[in-house]
Amino acid sequence: MNGDDAQLIARVGKRDLAAMRVLYEKYAPQLYRFAVARLGDERSAEDVVQETMLAVWQSASRFRGHSTATTWLFGICRRKVAEVYRRGQGREVPGLLHARSESTPPGPGLEFWESFSRLSDEHQEILLLVFYYGFSQEEAAEVLGVPVGTVKSRIHYARHRLREALRDAGAEEGDRKRRRSERSTGT
């Protein structure tokens, strides 16, 4: 574990607000993107980050350093996201990225978002952790609280499902374009 992080968490455990601020500024932006990607809603994502950091503040004194700060924080964050889903507040409208796509540079947009949002929670989590955050097998296993073998099989199936969803989305988009073209030519 990073020694700086261990010291920071130890200081947070002694109610050191300055240390908490350093930890917050280092990790909250990463956790926020994870939460937005999972929830599709900025407000809920911010609430998840605040609740995660609050849990860190309250339990830092019990942190023994068996995991890294990163995996510990992401583990808490994913449980907070799951709580939002249990309360039925997650991903109602995938409009966030669509709205942003008007003003941001070109890149994977609504089609990718829709395909991703069709995946199960487990598959979304592991794809984000592995492909965006670059977690190793062991780190992903720590965050998710599952054996390494489960991580290996889960990432395999998650990729397979995403590939299928993207192919379906591509086919749907092709159909839409074809219908638009037929309408415009009057055939």
Partner 1 sequence: MIEQGRGRPGGIRSKNRPDCKLVTPLVVWVANGTATDAERAMVVLHTLTCPHCRRELAETLALRRTFQRWVERLPDLPQRAWHGFVDLLEEREEARAGHRAAVEVAEPEAVEIGSVLRPLLAWLAAESPSPAWRMVDWALAYSETQGR
Site string for partner 1, 70-99 (x = CB under 8 A): --------------------------xx--
Among 18, 54, 148, 171, binds partner 1 (CB under 8 A): 54
CA-CA distance, 98 to 107, in Å (whole number)? 12
Residues 102-131 that bind partner 1 (CB under 8 A): 104-105, 107-108, 112-113, 116, 127-128, 130-131
Residue 151 CB, nearest approach to partner 1 (Å):
10
Number of residues that bind partner 1 (CB under 8 A): 43
Of residues 113, 115, 122, 116, the one with CA closest to residue 85: 122
Task: Provide the b/e sequence for 31-42 (b: ≥16 CB within 10 Å).
Answer: bbebbbbbbbbe
Residue 39: CA count within 13 A, CB half-sphere: 29
Residue 119, classed as helix, strand or coil, is: coil
Ramachandran region, residue 19 (left: φ > 0; alpha: ψ -120 to 50; beta: rest): alpha
Interface residues toward partner 1, by CB under 8 A:
17, 21, 24-25, 28-29, 32-33, 36-37, 42, 46, 49-50, 53-54, 57, 96-97, 100-101, 104-105, 107-108, 112-113, 116, 127-128, 130-132, 134-137, 139, 152, 155-156, 159, 162
